[in-house]
């Protein structure tokens, strides 16, 4: 679920409010969106992919992580390179090559009959 909105990184574009398919965010004070309905989050990572400032982090769990989890610790996430990692792999952002250009997976095993 969405766990982090970085006040420091956020550029107040409100893109996350627009793109979240389950309407999790609300406009917040000082232009920083707030996680208003975390339980509606479907852990699809779309907000993170669309955030131009790598200010959002979605933990892979479909339930909230504990308050002291490293997945809520912005410093840890930035230090390990996890913050912004999905956007980097998608190749989204200025000067990046789209990941789709490289997306050739392995030949899958044929369906069993």
Partner 1 sequence: MINLDLTADVVVVGGGPAGTWAALTAAEAGADVLLLDKGYCGTSGPTASGGTGVWYVQPDPEEREKAMASREKLGGFLQDRRWMARVLDQTYENMNRLEAEARYPFPIVDGVPHKRGVQGPEYMRRMRSWIKRAGVRVLDHSPVTELLVDGTGTVAGVRGHRRQHGTGYRVRAGAVVLATGGCAFLSKALGCDVATGDGALFAAEAGAEMSGMEFSTAYAIAPAFTSVTKTAYYGFATFFRGDGTWLEGAGSQGGRSVIAKELLRTGTVLCQIDRATPEQQRQMRLGQPNFFLTFDRLGINPFTEKFPVTLLLEGTVRGTGGIRIIADDCATTVPGLYAAGDAATRELVCGAFTGGGSHNSAWAMSSGTFAGRGAAAFATALGATANRRRLTGVGEAGIQRPFDRTDALDVIRREVHPYDKNYLRTASRLEPALAHLDAVWDGRRGGAVATGGDLPGVRQAAAMVAHARWMYTSALARTESRGMARREEFPRLDPNQYHRLTVGGLDRLWTRPETVTGRELAVAS
- The window from 4-12, 28-36, 46-54 that contacts partner 1 (CB under 8 A) reads 46-54
Q: Which of 63, 79, 93, 96 binds partner 1 (CB under 8 A)?
A: 63
> Does 72 help bind partner 1 (rule: CB under 8 A)?
no
Residue 20 structure tokens: 């979240």
CA 87 from centroid of its chain's CA atoms? 8
DSSP state of 25: E
- Residue 3: helix, strand or coil by DSSP? strand
> Does 66 help bind partner 1 (rule: CB under 8 A)?
no
For the bound state, the minimum distance from the C-beta of residue 82 to partner 1, rounded and expressed in Å, comes to 6
> Does 34 help bind partner 1 (rule: CB under 8 A)?
no
- The residue behind tokens 């610790």 is 73
For the bound state, the minimum distance from the C-beta of residue 70 to partner 1, rounded and expressed in Å, comes to 9
Are β-strands 56-58 and 34-35 bridged in parallel, bridged antiparallel, or unpaired? Answer: unpaired
Euclidean distance between CA atoms 93 and 84, whole angstroms: 10
List residues binding partner 1 (CB under 8 A). Answer: 17-23, 40, 42-46, 49-50, 59-63, 71, 82, 85-86, 89-90, 92, 98-106, 108-109, 111-113
């Amino acid at each position: 679920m969405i766990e982090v909105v970085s006040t420091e990184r956020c550029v107040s574009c409100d893109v996350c409010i627009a793109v979240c398919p389950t309407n999790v965010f609300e406009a917040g004070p000082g232009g920083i969106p707030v996680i208003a309905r975390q339980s509606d989050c479907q852990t699809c990572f779309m907000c993170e992919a669309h955030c131009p400032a790598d200010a959002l982090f979605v933990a892979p769990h479909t339930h909230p992580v504990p308050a002291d989890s490293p997945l809520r610790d912005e410093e840890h996430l930035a230090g390990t390179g996890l913050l912004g990692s999905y956007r980097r792999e998608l190749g989204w952002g200025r000067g990046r090559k789209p990941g789709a250009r490289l997306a050739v997976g392995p030949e899958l095993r044929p369906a069993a009959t």
